[in-house]
Amino acid sequence: MILGALVLRPLPVEVAERVEGFARAPLPVDELRDRFGVVDKSPAAHEAGSVGPWEPGGISEYQHRTAQELATAEGRQYESYGATP
């Protein structure tokens, strides 16, 4: 994985820091990919069974464990939205 995605039009740091994820959360993924120049996985990745972040196997053991630890530290329930290591 190349930093999670192949980006055709890299964003300058000052612009990337201002990208407000929550404001864009309701937008369709295809619209966001087009806006930021993020291409889909290659056909070879799809054929090999590559999964997305919200699918079983889409996150690592480390990500799963540290997310659970953070939720506990913040006094809230951990929700993985279906992602499992």
Going from N- to C-terminal start, the domains of the chain cover: 1-50, 51-85
- Tell whether the model's pLDDT for residue 10 goes beyond 70: no
The DSSP bridge partners found for residue 42 are none
Q: What are φ and ψ of residue 14, in 5° steps?
A: -65, -30
Give the global pTM.
0.46
Q: How many CA atoms lie within 13 A of 56 on its CB side?
A: 0
**Residue 38 to residues 69, 81, 85: CA-CA distances in angstroms?**
31, 23, 24
3-state class of 58 per DSSP? coil
- Per-residue pLDDT reduced to its tens digit, 13-69: 555 556 666 677 788 888 888 887 888 888 998 899 888 877 888 888 999 999 999
